[in-house]
Structure 1
Amino acid sequence: MTSKVWLAGLISTLVLTGCMSHSSSSASGIEFAENFPKQGASLPYDVLRADLLDGKTGQPFEVRNGGFGSAMTAHPSIRNQFYALTDRGPNANYTGDYGKGKTFPVASYTPRIGLFEVSESGQITLLESILLKRPDGQLISGLPNTSALGGTGETPYHANGQPVLMDDSKAYNGQSNPIKLDDYGLDGEGLVALKDGTFWVSDEYGPHMVHYDASGVEIGRINAFQADSRNTFYLPTVFQHRRANRGMEGLAISPDEQTLVGIMQSTMRNPDKAAQKGDLTRIVTVNLQTGKTEQYLYRQEKNQNSNSEIAALTESQFLVIERDGSFLLGGPKKANPKAQKQVYRIDLNTATPLSSVALSGSITRDGSHGLLIDGLTLEQYAQQQGWAALAEKGIKPVSKVLVVDMVKEVAYPHDKMEGLWIIDDHHLGVLNDDDFATWSTKGKLEQKYLNDTTVDSNQLYIIKTDLLSE
């Protein structure tokens, strides 16, 4: 009770805090950032459906659209605009007659990119929604991929517990009317916007990196599956071992727009489920001219943590979100005053490029699992022997410097911190994923609350800090 009172008092203090000031704001065109409310501002939303009954209260609740917090990135040329990405749509864990999977209360949902503008008064307006499409112009879905593209056996269900079928008007038949999967389905989590108007999106399924034109039509693809004829280039095969629901959570592009940089959310299942419980996650770079890839390691602050975004500062320096899944104020879970919602600056030049590691009797390279040390994957070796032992083998992770602690900065109440918007060297936008304002307990959908009364929403915060190293 005492901690809740203290946290509530801190939030009240932040609400009353005066606006930020910056001597060069008039010349730099970032008045919107200087004047932005310290407590943040909500993105607009509409309601996808409001006929479902809350699993806890038994009352109707809203599934909101919303959901634009899976990633964000700056508009390449307009200072007060940003793009934000949805994931596969509202969903929740569910086990039905056809096995473990997800319930999709809006199974026809199309993942999309939103273009938003921030006014000088701090109001946020949705200017455009770009629906993502296949190369032939058909809308994609957020439904899972097949096993050939890394699908983990998630069965999609409707909110009523019935499976999502190729033709829902007919009965299930394994041959003529099977469960509907979608190899173009995307669970988008990373986003970059290029100067030519196109976008790259990374996701939690394959993982895939997909190139879309300005209207949302797919024009290129990169993943780790050699048999996928859609690919322009390929990721290292080791990325086939991503942990379910923790794929390529962040995506950036170098300032010269020549290199994509993706970061995995958590330790991969390489080679097995036990290995995913560590604190090692991977960063991969892809040269868009040659397809050459490189990998680097990132050491998380605790096991099974989440890296939810990466954004480029320079050719080698990037900002990375590292967070846990707790709520500062409680909401669906117990309140956690030690919730971790942090932004770090990393430098790839301080890490060991994995391609440069010399092979030996101890260090070998496997076609599926990447570098092995004494027969162990890097995930296993770091977990069992420690990072010091890894360093003795000549393998070091990227350096990390804490830039922003959002709990200390704004009493950040959300569980998911997933979007970064680099406005300039001194202003950073941070956005949460509100999960379409939905939650689930034991497979039953409900409204997602941050505390006893506040429904979660996409909330933008703008933080004033020095982003670049000295």
Structure 2
Amino acid sequence: MKNVHSMTLPLLSVALATFVFAAPAAALADNSVTVGNVTLVNKGRVAVGRIPANQRDKFGETFGSGSGMSIDTKSWVRNADGSYKGSLWLLPDRGYNAVGTTDFRPRLNTVEIQLTPVAPGATPPAGKEQSGVVAKLADTILLTDNKGADTTGLDPANGTRHPEGSMPLLPQAPNGKISLDNEAIARLSDGTMFISDEYGPYIYRFSATGLMMSATQPPAALLPMRNGAVNFASNNPGPGETAPDPKDPTSGRQNNQGLEGMSMTPDGKFLIAVLQSATRQDGGDSSSTRQNTRALIYDAADLAHLKLVHEYVVPLPVFKDDKGKTLVAAQSEIVALSPTNFLMLARDSGNGYGVKGDKSLYRSINIVDVSAATDIAGSKFDADTALAPKGVLDPSVKPAAVSQFIDINDSADLARFGLHNGAPNDRNNLSEKWEAMSLVSVQDPKLPDDYFLFVANDNDFLTQDGFQVGAAYKGDGGGDVDTMFQVFQVTIPGLSAK
């Protein structure tokens, strides 16, 4: 998603004293939720737009959509006619990898945006349903290691780079490059950025030009362990690589379930990162017991040395599949609203355009409140004691409160923009992976608490006209999954700059 994942720090002189969630949220209506004495309102979608699936970047490779997003609020301008222009950063993950991983060079894209929203609840003119966002790829930078060498999307496949200087143990592919599977971005006012990944799961700081500056290792309980040692493999070996043994970690983050969501608080003091689902020892070995994930709160006073100051259990939403089985919706992104509250996007898997299943059973943006939750930072649960064995939370731990805010699958709201959830499984059926969010003011003096919440998909580089790592490819499934932006207008009291 993302600074408030979405706000660069010069605009973060935000007074949040009144924005304190003191109790679990209570839904007032389908479009609003109240937490403590604060009511947030979802006014619905106001714009949709696309970037074609076969878009190429300046390196001639297939553009990779949004695992993370951050709007450049300094560039954001409201025009006299009520339209907007600005730019955002869009972070792809490790490249096209239908069978194993490839030596894709991790990168960051700059996208120019023109937004022409409809009034909340209004229907766009016929033929203009999905032209409210016009997005143009403007630039791409490569992310390098601390020595300026290329990084890679290849699975670490049992490899590590030993600690050196201020850098900790790092995931390393067989070709000697640092392995990155990027998932979230928080861009700072000086141009540097925090990027979280799945392999570590680590938080990296990069310069404005893409040079790795530091790496933050999570608590030991989150590190993937195999045979008594840290092993960063995700069981997606590249060409010629061997699969890890065992295929799954025995403890720590599950394969491909790393720090999926991350955001800087509006005051710029804290960085919040959330594991996609529970660790292996906490029920993360099953899609039905992986509910108790963790939110890590870092003091960001020293950007080169993040300090873990709080840690909380976040219970992920559950839903039932068509056979009545209870499943857990993994989280895909967060946007911090304060040091104790954040928006969290959670979703199911395997459903949507580009994959076999057609109808999603759960895609939602929720509000998480950790203010009354048990702080487990530095406790036995950060070491060798399971927090939720087989998914059952330790009774001494009180989890965060989670409440639904926006139902992304709302059929009536989708229909206004020519979209749907379910059959026919065509390009107007929402794609599977919605993984990026960012927030920016509507800049209307009559609506000082209103914001545009941008939500974007990760299209997994699925196109029938693809090119990466020196070779053409056709994505599995026969689809061309565009990068799509959905824009919601929301009211969030207390976030306006004073």
* Matched letter for residue 109 of structure 2: G
Considering Cα pairs closer than 8 Å and 6+ residues apart, tell me whether 1 or 2 has the greater RCO: 2
Please give the per-residue CA displacement for 1:156-176, whole angstroms capped at 9, x wherever unaligned.
Answer: xxxxxxxxxxxxxxxxxxxxx
Aligned length: 345
- Give the conservation status (yes or no) of the 8 Å contact 2:105–2:153: yes
Asked if residue 418 in structure 1 is aligned to residue 401 in structure 2, the reply is: no
Asked if 1:368 is matched to 2:374, the reply is no
RMSD across aligned positions (CA): 3.3
Q: For residue 39 of structure 1, report the CA deviation from its aligned partner.
A: 4.0
Matched position secondary structure for 1:119: strand
Cα distance per residue 1:416-459 (max 9 Å; x no partner): 000001123432100000000159xxxxx85356xx8x621110
Matched letter for residue 290 of structure 2: G
In structure 2, the partner of 1:226 is none
Q: For the residues of structure 2 that align with 1:116 and 1:216, how far apart are their CA atoms?
A: 16
Supply the AA of the counterpart residue of 1:72: M
Q: CA deviation at 1:260?
A: 1.5
Aligned equivalent of 1:83: 89
Query: Secondary structure of the equivalent of 1:354?
Result: coil
Task: Answer yes or no: is 1:207 the counterpart of 2:190.
Answer: no
Matched AA of 1:207: P
Question: Cα distance 1:280–1:182, how it changes in 2: closer, same or farther (>3 A)?
Answer: farther
Distance 1:76 1:198, change over 3 A: farther
Contact 2:202 2:215 in 1 (8 A): yes
Aligned-residue offset at 1:127: 1.9
**Distance in 1 between residues matched to 2:376 and 2:284, nearest whole Å:** 23
Alpha-carbon distance change, 354 to 139 in structure 1, aligned in 2, over 3 angstroms: same
1:458 to 472, 483, 486: 483
Q: CA deviation at 1:211?
A: 0.4
The answer to whether structure 1 residue 286 and structure 2 residue 306 are counterparts is: no
Which of 407-416 and 190-199 deviates more? 407-416
Q: Does 1:344 align with 2:379?
A: no
Counterpart check, 1:335 vs 2:361: no
Identical positions, percent: 23
Contact 1:268 / 1:379 at 8 angstroms: preserved in 2? no
Which of residues 221, 245, 252 in structure 2 aligns to 1:238? Answer: 221
State the TM-score, normalized to the length of structure 1. Answer: 0.66
User: Partner of 2:98 in structure 1?
Assistant: 92
- Asked if 1:310 corresponds to 2:307, the answer is no
Determine the structure 1 residue equivalent to 2:274: 263
One-letter amino acid of the counterpart of residue 82, structure 1: L
Tell me, what secondary structure is at the counterpart of 1:134? Answer: coil
Question: What letter is aligned with 1:350?
Answer: A
Query: 2:69 is matched with which residue: 67, 72, 81?
Result: 72
Task: Specify which of 18, 41, 64 is matched with residue 50 of structure 2.
Answer: 41
User: Are residues 333 and 275 of structure 1, via their aligned partners in 2, closer, same or farther at CA, if it must alter by over 3 Å?
Assistant: closer
Q: Give the CA deviation at 1:66.
A: 2.4
Report the residue type matching 1:130 in the other structure: I
Give the structure-2-normalised TM-score: 0.62
Letter in 1 for 2:278: T
SS at match of 1:270: helix
Structure 2: give runs of 5+ residues left out of the alignment. 1-42, 77-85, 117-132, 162-171, 224-251, 319-326, 415-419, 422-429, 442-449, 465-472
Q: 2:180 aligns with which of 186, 189, 207?
A: 186
Instruction: Give the letter aligned to residue 317 of structure 2.
Output: E
The answer to whether structure 1 residue 135 and structure 2 residue 146 are counterparts is yes
- Cα displacement (A) at 1:92: 2.2
Structure that is richer in helix per residue: 1
In 2, Cα distance between equivalents of 1:183 and 1:82: 28
Which structure would you say has the larger Rg? 1
Q: Kindly tell me: are residues 138 and 416 of structure 1, through their superposed partners in 2, closer, same or farther at Cα, counting changes over 3 Å?
A: same
Asked if 1 retains the 8 angstrom alpha-carbon contact of 2:283 and 2:290, the reply is no
- Once the two structures are superposed, the pairs formed by residues 145-160 of structure 1 within 5 Å of their partners are 145=156, 147=158, 149=160
Per-residue Cα deviation, 1:351-402 (whole angstroms, up to 9, x for no partner): 2211497xxxxxxx26633xx4xxxx11316x24xx5xx4x42x22222222
Task: Report if aligned partners of 2:283, 2:291 keep a CA contact under 8 Å in 1.
Answer: no
1:350 Cα deviation after fit:
3.1
